[in-house]
Amino acid sequence: MMTDEKKKVNLTIDGIQVEAYEGDMVLDAARRAGIDIPTLCYHPAIGPIGSCRVCVVEIENGRGLPASCVTPVREGMVVRTNTEAVREARRTVVELILASHPQDCLQCERNGRCELQALAMRLGIRETRFHREKEHKECDTSSPALVRDADKCILCGRCVNMCADVQNVAALGFAYRGTDALVTPMFERGLAESKCVSCGQCAKICPVGAIHEKEEWQKVADLISDPNLHVVVQVAPAVRAAIGEEFGIPAGTPVTGKLATALKMLGFDAVFDTQFTADLTIMEEGTELIERLKTKGPLPLITSCSPGWIKYAETFHPEFIPNLSSCKSPQQMMGAIIKTYYAKKAGIDPDKIVSVSVMPCTAKKSECARPEMNASGRRDVDIVLTTRELACMIRQAGIRFQDLSDGEFDAPLGISTGAGTIFGTTGGVMEAALRTVYEIVTKKPLG
Amino acid sequence: MSPFIRAHILVCSGAGCVSSGCHGVYDSLMRALEEEGILGEVKVIKTGCIGSCDLGPTVLIYPDGTFYQKVTPEDAKEIVEEHIVKGRPVARLFPRQAEGEPAENISSLNFFKKQVKVVLRNCGVIDPENIYEYVARDGYEALARVLTDMTPKDVIDTIKQSGLRGRGGAGFPTGLKWEFAQRVHADEKYVVCNADEGDPGAFMDRSVLEGDPHSIVEAMTIAGYAIGANQGYIYVRAEYPLAVSRLTHAIEEAHEFGVLGENLFGSGFSFDLDIRVGAGAFVCGEETALLASMEGKRGMPRPRPPFPANEGLFRKPTLINNVETYANIAPIILKGPDWFRSIGTEKSPGTKVFALAGKINNTGLVEVPMGTTLREIVYEIGGGIPGGKAFKAAQTGGPSGGCIPESLLDISMEYDTLTKAGAMMGSGGLIIMDEDTCMVDIAKFFLQFTQDESCGKCVPCREGTKVMLDILTRITEGKGQAGDIQTLEALGKTIKNTALCGLGQTAPNPVLSSIRYFRNEYEAHIDEKRCPGGVCKDLVGYEIDAEKCRGCSLCAKACPTQAIHPVAGEAALAEASGGEGGHKPKRRTYEIDNSKCQKCGECMSVCRFDAVSRR
């Protein structure tokens, strides 16, 4: 953001001399100066929207109370962020949002992680002076991955911007006007009928509980309790790095061993590592690349591990479908192996196997529901849980995750080369594929 | 056609007259002229709106200036036979002034006397579909002068010196806007005309587009030259089909005549125009929402800056002015900024077109110098309040504006005084209200409009106006509570201060201004559960005074819900004693069943004995 070409601008915020750069917004400058103006619709991952009006400030000789997230700094500007007028306006605005927002926080998926809840708490709101009846809308549960609850939507526009401007999908948009305004897929259809690719970025950026992943942990817990079923779980590479965060372990700390222990404690009959099939994926994709290079097949070859990306390409760029690798993703390879090879080896009726996977991405829920994902003659992967859902199960079971001792994945599908671990990072799949190609082509191990 | 034309017949063909049947009048005139064999001696044209829409279809005959109102096709035949052939004006078709005497000549009509027509100079005068008529009225001369004699800077300086302010509502200095757009360096710039006229009741922009479309084509081309743009767009609402068709025709004609397109007047400057039809959302009149709509997106405002002059249509520098603003450009170029400044006031030079509506005798479009008083507009041009009722207030600026009470009748109608009074110039809607108007109800009406039209993006506008509307609705239903006025004031202030765009920032104006001037009416509703204007149905009831009632039954017959019937016991009595030869039955009286009464007041208006009263 800050480059030497940008002009410096001096301004005063709450009596503090602040240096900023031309093009900066007052909010950025204030935060850098240690003044934490409250916000709601603002999110650094998307451009400022300016719809919630929570971050309003007073500017000397200016008109009204502009929103600081969309007000550019000016030389000599004098800003006040904590005057009585500002406090009253902020409070009123938050109360107006609460006026039509469901007050069932205790049952909300976002309880405790809700930005509106936190904001109301921060502003010390104990009562709302206003009340507005809102037309009830049924929850949209059509998508295998995501649930939209329009009743909880505060129309901040974050998901709309994220979906359109960042993900380039634009499955969500605004419809109607005034208090009828609604964030919805086109013609108020369900997400499943829209061009949604199930990437889940909307759920990630939603400040409240209006969009969240479809929760299936309860179903899994019930299936585990059924003695007639053999419930198998596979865990994606990224999960072992992310799940620690849910239990206060610093982000990025690998907790593979604790994870294996926790899954066994939860009662899964077998705990496998998706890295095993990540290895398979790489060998398949690597040889596919060599084959295509030889036969001058469609190039470049694009890896096919991400179901969000596959759906995106199918929907928006079908011209690239021939370039996609014909390989299944590691999750689906594992799913197929579990209900064929593993079932045979372990002597279990594949119809009695429930195949669960824990994945870092909501699109995996959509992937396993695709009709062609039945190599075993039945659905290969039955249920996909996100990292968060697994954490929820672990907490419920009373397991102190952070204190667990290291366990092991089960053989044979728990053993891997470790090459698949880098799948969880950007460019990792590609790098792993190239490493494999190098070894196959040169017949020499990579140094 | 003979070289000698003995008379010009102007048939108003503004949208108002079209709907009251002017095309039939035109056809009838043509037929009659043909029958008389004088088709070649009389020129009949369809003009744009002349302004006096309540009198339509209107026909104006030159050279004498005879003005006929409410002309039917049959009348048209008579006009030809009597006036044109025999030289005997048809007196029964003259409009009547408030004082009662007919005015046969347009110059003797009070409605037109005080008007100064700059913006509407050609409306109702020329055939809008004939470029020759526009050229004959100095059309495209300003463009010729600009392209051959003036630099872009000269043009901008002229507009700046004229003091012209944006007629779209906020009154931003037009010359400055042009300068901002001119100063930005860009490979491409655009000129946009905001013709998304959305204020209920305002139709001056439509009238200009329908009556004088070339004036907009010319002004936008001048603007293009001044700021360095080669493409312009007119954003006009789909509800204005006549304007769209006349504009389309004008653009085609201008191309044909070489005043639009490549290398205009041999200057090397090229400019083209296209029309974009909007779906008719009020918020699309807000410039950033308008641009979004033009780009094919949802018409939702975005925060400014960046202003369109820096980053507008397709992120290119864009100049946006409204129709009325553009209509002032050519005269300013031709007659000079000093001439323009000689009209109007120092801070608001020029004229303003108002759309007069409501409880006033003469409704329609009036163009007056800025600074004309409200009293002059209401009583001299508008002919006062019908039925001798008292003036209560005028709403200026439509739903974004505010009300001006009787005590401010002498207010100078210009940008700053109106804003100071808590109202707004806006686009020039002027709704007159009489003593029978309830100010709380009016405020509710306007807020309902902005509430409906709020795009729903920002919280204060979407949620705040709804909460205010709910409170107002409660008050008019007799459920007002102590503290409601204070809540309305506080909320109104917060919405004004924090809303994202002009729509939200001005939405509380009707409420705040009516509280400011008519607080007692709010108090009467809340504290006494009484509606002084007699409008709010839940607070109004009618009763029949038995002493005064003569039993004529007129009220019972007039009642649309059969809520009025004879008083029970008396009816039987009257029945029993009636019908015996000449014997006058005992007087029976009527009463109102309040469970059926719809509070329409019809009983009160038909009673000849003043027996019905409102409480």
ipTM of the complex: 0.88
Token digits for A178? 């005034």
- Distance, in Å, from the CA atom of B437 to the CA atom of B443, rounded to the nearest integer, reads 11
The answer to whether residues B225 and B362 belong to one domain is no
Q: Report how far apart, in Å, the C-alpha atoms of B156 and of each of B7, B99, B216, B566 are.
A: 42, 47, 17, 75
- The enclosing domain of B581 has a CATH number of 3.30.70.3270
How close, in Å, is residue A52 to chain B by CA atoms?
5
Residue B463 belongs to domain with CATH number: 1.20.1440.230
Where does A1-131 sit in CATH, by number? Answer: 3.10.20.740
Determine the Cα–Cα distance for residues B519 and B486; give it in Å rounded to an integer: 11
Residue A271: predicted pLDDT: 95
Nearest to B366 by CA among B134, B119, B165: B119
Owning domain of residue B185 = 131-340
The SS3 call for residue B314 is: helix
CB B382 within 8 A of CB B362: yes
Q: Are residues B379 and B365 in the same domain?
A: yes
Total residue count of chain B as it appears in this document: 615
Q: Are strands B190-195 and B59-62 parallel, antiparallel or unpaired?
A: unpaired
Distance between A85 CA and the closest CA of chain B, angstroms: 9
Q: Count of alpha carbons within 13 Å of B464, Cβ hemisphere only?
A: 34
User: What is the identity of the amino acid at B613?
Assistant: S
* Residue B123 belongs to a domain: no
Q: Count the neighbouring beta carbons within 10 Å of the beta carbon of residue A344.
A: 10
Q: Taking Cα atoms as reference points, which of B439, B441, B434 lies closest to residue B382? A: B434
CB half-sphere exposure, A338, CA atoms < 13 A = 34
Instruction: Let me know whether B364 and B398 are in one domain.
Output: yes
Distance CA B110, CA B101 (A): 11
- Let me know if residue B114 belongs to a domain: no
Pair (B554, B521) in one structural domain: no
- The whole-angstrom distance between A375's CA and the closest CA on chain B is 44
Measured CA to CA, the distance from residue A393 to residue B86 in angstroms comes to 100
Q: Does the beta carbon of A67 lie under 8 angstroms from any beta carbon of chain B?
A: yes
CA B78 centroid distance within chain: 33
Domain boundary pick from B506, B521, B537: B537
Same domain, B517 and B600: no
User: Where does CATH 3.40.50.1780 sit in chain A?
Assistant: 217-442
Flag whether B126 is in a domain: no
Rg, chain B, Cα only: 28
Are B498 and A48 a contacting pair at CB < 8 A? no
**Is the Cβ pair A51, B305 closer than 8 Å?**
no
A-chain CB neighbours of B467 within 8 Å are: 96, 99, 130, 132
Determine phi and psi for A267, rounding to 5 degrees. Answer: 105, 10
> Is the residue at B117 inside a domain?
no
DSSP track, B405-433? EGGGTT-B-SHHHHHHTT---TT-EEEEE
The burial class, CB within 10 Å (0-12 / 13-18 / 19+), for B482 is exposed
Backbone angles phi, psi at A312, to 5 degrees: -60, -50
User: Domain boundary at B492, B521, B537, which?
Assistant: B537
Half-sphere exposure for B468 (CA within 13 Å, toward CB): 38
Element (H, E) at B11: strand B7-12
* Residue A425 tokens, joined: 């990072």
C-alpha neighbours within 13 Å on the C-beta side of residue A370: 19
B330 plus B184 within the same structural domain: yes
Query: Taking every pair of C-alpha atoms in chain B, what is the biggest distance, in angstroms?
Result: 99
Strands A211-213 and A182-184 come out as unpaired
CA–CA distance, A238 with B461 (Å, rounded to integer): 43
B523 & B572 share domain: no
Q: Does A50 touch chain B (CB under 8 A)?
A: yes
Touching B: A residues 143-162, CB under 8 Å: 155, 157
Using a CB-CB cut-off of 8 Å, the residues of chain B touching A119 are none
Residues of A in contact with B458 (CB under 8 A): 50-53
Domain-embedded: residue B120: no
Q: Is B460 helix (H, G, I), strand (E, B) or coil?
A: helix
- How far apart (Å, rounded) are the C-alpha atoms in residues B443 and B403? 9
Question: Which residues of B fall within a CB distance of 8 Å from A100?
Answer: 463
* Predicted local confidence at residue B574, as pLDDT: 57
- Measure the CA–CA gap between B31 and B596, rounded to whole angstroms: 54
pLDDT at B573 (0 to 100): 61
- Looking up tokens 């007056």 gives B368
Are B500 and A85 in contact (CB < 8 Å)?
Answer: no
The pLDDT score that the predictor gives to residue B5 is 87
What CATH number is associated with residue B324? 3.40.50.11540
Taking CA–CA distances from B458, the nearest residue in chain A reads: A51
Q: Do A64 and B496 touch (CB under 8 A)?
A: yes
| Contact check, Cβ <8 Å, A179/B451 | yes
d(CA A133, CA A101) in angstroms, rounded, equals 9
Please state, in angstroms and rounded to a whole number, the distance separating the CA atoms of residues B597 and B560: 9
| Final residue in a domain of this structure, among B537, B555, B574 | B537
Q: Find the helix packing angle between B152-162 and B174-183, rounded to 10°.
A: 150
H-run or E-run covering B566: strand B564-566
Task: Look at residues B522, B451, B462, B458 and name the one whose alpha carbon lies nearest to residue B489.
Answer: B522
List residues bridging with B365 in a β-sheet: B355
Q: Which stretches of chain B drop beneath a pLDDT of 50?
A: 579, 581-582
| Shared-domain flag, residues B244 and B385 | no
Rounded to the nearest angstrom, the gap between the alpha carbon of residue B557 and the centroid of all alpha carbons in its chain is 37
Backbone angles phi, psi at A71, to 5 degrees: -105, 115
A440 phi and psi angles, rounded to 5 deg: -70, -45
Contact B463 A96 (CB under 8 A): yes
Residues B361 and B478 both lie in one domain: no
Task: Looking at the structure, tell me whether residues B206 and B316 fall in a common domain.
Answer: yes
Whether a cis peptide bond, with omega within 30° of 0, leads into B57 is yes
Burial of B232 (0-12, 13-18, 19+ CB in 10 A): buried
pLDDT in tens, B406-428: 999 999 999 999 999 989 998 89
Torsion of CA B244, B250, B256, B261, to 10 degrees: -80
User: Are B195 and B250 members of one domain?
Assistant: yes
Question: Which part of chain A is CATH 3.30.70.20?
Answer: 146-213
* β-bridge mates for residue A406, sequence order: none
Q: What angle do CA B475, B478, B479 make, to 5 degrees?
A: 70
A130: nearest CA in chain B?
B467
Quote the pLDDT of residue A442: 84
Distance in angstroms (rounded) separating the CA atoms of residues B509 and B400: 6
Say if residue B249 is exposed, middle or buried (CB neighbours under 10 Å; 0-12, 13-18, 19+).
middle
User: What's residue A2's pLDDT?
Assistant: 45
Instruction: Confirm whether B119 is domain-assigned.
Output: no
CB B190 within 8 A of CB B220: no
Following DSSP, what letter does each residue of B47-84 receive, concatenated?
E---S-GGG-S-EEEETTTEEE-S--HHHHHHIIIIII
CB-based contacts of A268: which residues, under 8 Å, 6+ apart?
A224, A231, A232, A233, A356
Query: Which pair of structure tokens corresponds to residue A83?
Result: 């005057």
- The pLDDT tens digits along chain A (447 residues) read 444 578 999 999 999 999 999 999 999 999 999 999 999 999 999 989 999 999 999 999 999 999 999 999 999 999 999 999 999 999 999 999 999 999 999 999 999 999 999 999 999 999 889 999 899 999 999 999 999 999 999 999 999 999 999 999 999 999 999 999 999 999 999 999 999 999 999 999 999 999 999 999 999 999 999 999 999 999 998 999 899 999 999 988 889 999 999 999 999 999 999 988 988 888 888 889 999 999 988 999 998 889 999 999 999 999 999 999 999 999 999 999 999 999 999 999 999 999 999 999 999 999 999 999 998 899 999 999 999 999 999 999 999 999 999 999 987 776 677 666 676 677 777 777 777 778 878 888 776
- Residue B358 forms part of a structural domain: yes
Q: Decide if B2 is inside a domain.
A: no
CATH number at residue B50: 3.40.30.10
Distance CA B442, CA B423 (A): 14
User: Hey, is A155 helix, strand or coil?
Assistant: coil
Which DSSP letter does residue A52 get?
Answer: S
Domain shared by B369 and B399, yes or no: yes
Nearest by Cα to B468 from B422, B436, B501, B514? B514
CB of B431 closer than 8 Å to CB of B514: no
For residue B496, the chain A residues in CB contact (below 8 A) are: 64
Q: Taking CB atoms and an 8 Å limit, are A64 and B498 in contact across chains?
A: yes
CB atoms within 10 A of CB B608: 9
Beta bridge partners of B261: B271
Indicate the number of domains in chain B. Answer: 5
Listed in sequence order, the DSSP H helices in B282-414 are: 287-294, 323-327, 329-335, 337-341, 374-375
CATH top class, domain A146-213: alpha beta
Pick the CATH number of A217-442 from 3.40.50.720, 3.40.50.1780, 3.30.70.270, 3.40.50.1100: 3.40.50.1780
